[in-house]
Amino acid sequence: MGWDFKQGASKADIVKDLVSTVITANFIATTVAHKVVGQELWRLVEFSDDAGKKTVIVLDLLSSSKNFGWGYKEMDEAMGPYYYKVPKSFLDRAPVTNPAWRARVLSEATRKAAQKAAFASLKPGDRVRLDGCMVDEVEVLRVEKTYFVGKVTVGPTKNISIGVGSVVRVRKDFILVGEVA
């Protein structure tokens, strides 16, 4: 499924359209809950037809096209999207259609909570192992709201110009949980 854009539409316009009830000859789709997380619109949609009702978790990726407007790409849980920021409350309100995706959602939520706790406990002098960074370990010099400043203590894994002793700024989501010493 591709992207649908609406000329001159704002992000709010697209969200309003997507959460509106849809009535067709075969079914009625009603958004019973929704939450926008950055460029992701998560919806809990109830489909009603002659056979009954079913509730589905739907993700609409939101994007803007320069000089045109906003648009979306829709997918549901069964498609196993590579996005995991669905509100946890939605998981209890819709039957599981993709067990592997649900497990990943819960795993990512647990990992993010642990990273948040690890970041909250940082103090100058701590050594932190990093995940997904060009360097392996830094010593914390100071902590800000969404990042910390540190000195590289274990060199880069790639051939880059940052070396041991360099001062770097690190976003909080690169902390490896359990790797703060």
For residue 159, name the pLDDT band (cuts at 50, 70, 90): low
User: pLDDT class for 115, splitting at 50, 70, 90?
Assistant: confident
From residue 173, give the alpha-carbon distance in Å to each of 13, 14, 63, 111: 31, 29, 23, 10
pLDDT band at 79 (very low <50, low <70, confident <90, very high): very high
Query: Which residue ranges make up each domain of the chain?
Result: 4-118, 121-180
- 177 falls in which pLDDT band (50, 70, 90)? low
Rounded to whole angstroms, how far apart are CA atoms 30 and 170? 42
Structure pTM? 0.78
User: Which range, of 9-13, 89-93, 116-120, 157-161, averages the lowest pLDDT?
Assistant: 157-161
Which one has a higher pLDDT value, 109 or 177? Answer: 109
Length of the chain equals: 181
Residues 6 or more apart whose Cβ sits within 8 Å of residue 61: 39, 40, 41, 72, 73, 75, 83
Distance CA 132, CA 81 (A): 21
| pLDDT confidence of residue 176 | 66
Are 156 and 130 contacting, i.e. CB atoms less than 8 angstroms apart?
no
Report the Cα 46 to chain-centroid distance in Å.
Answer: 23
Give CA–CA dist 67/134, Å, rounded: 36
**Band of residue 67 on the pLDDT scale cut at 50, 70, 90:** confident
Pairwise CA distance, residues 37 & 172, whole Å: 18
Point out which residues pair with 139 in neighbouring strands.
Answer: 127, 151
Which pLDDT value is given to residue 113? Answer: 87
- Which tokens hold the place of 108? 């990512």
The more confidently predicted of residues 126 and 33 is: 33
Q: Say yes or no to pLDDT of 179 above 80.
A: no
DSSP class of residue 118?
H
Q: What is the DSSP string of 67-104?
A: TTEEEEEEEEGGG--S-----HHHHHHS--S-HHHHHH
Instruction: Compute the distance between CA of residue 35 and CA of residue 7 in angstroms, rounded to an integer.
Output: 23
